[in-house]
Amino acid sequence: MPEAKPRPVLTHVFVYGSLRQGGSNDITRLKPSAVWVGTATLCGVMYDLGDYPGVRLGQGGVVAGEVYAVEPELARQLDAIEEVYPQETGEYVKSEVLVTLYGCRIQCLVYEVNPTHSQGRPVIASGDWFRREAAID
């Protein structure tokens, strides 16, 4: 009888900008495939950085996003896209945070913008990158 391969450990990730479905770095186009969990929110403020957003955690606002379960290989790809590893540009840091999903709280990885990169940038009042026309100074 063939030996069963162990299943990879899945991690939950909260995506809020270009990694959202339909975004320029759509997570659903990456391999291995991410598993859709649902839409969610977290406490934070979204900043318009030009072609993509950045979120500062806490800060009193609400940020809209999506939660996916990802394998370690895909998590490494996300680190590369967000330049957390291996290039480590300092624009984003990877954090763990509780997000609200279907009325429950779930622990997720999230890429938070470094405060020096959001300073002086417009706030996206809606907290939703796909509704960014609501950006204000």
Q: Residue 88: what pLDDT?
A: 75
pLDDT band at 133 (very low <50, low <70, confident <90, very high): low
Mean pLDDT of 16-35: 96
pLDDT at residue 9, rounded to an integer: 84
Question: Residue 72 domain-assigned?
Answer: yes
Q: Is residue 5 part of a domain?
A: no
Question: Within a domain: residue 121?
Answer: yes
CATH number at residue 28: 3.10.490.10
Q: Has residue 27 been placed in a domain?
A: yes
**Is residue 3 domain-resident?**
no
User: Which structural domain range is residue 60 located in?
Assistant: 11-136
Domains: count for the chain:
1
- Residue 60 included in any domain: yes
Q: 99-107: long-range contacts (C-beta < 8 A, 24 or more apart)? A: 99/14, 99/40, 99/41, 99/42, 99/65, 99/67, 100/40, 100/41, 100/42, 101/37, 101/38, 101/39, 101/40, 101/67, 102/38, 106/12, 106/37, 106/40, 106/67, 107/12
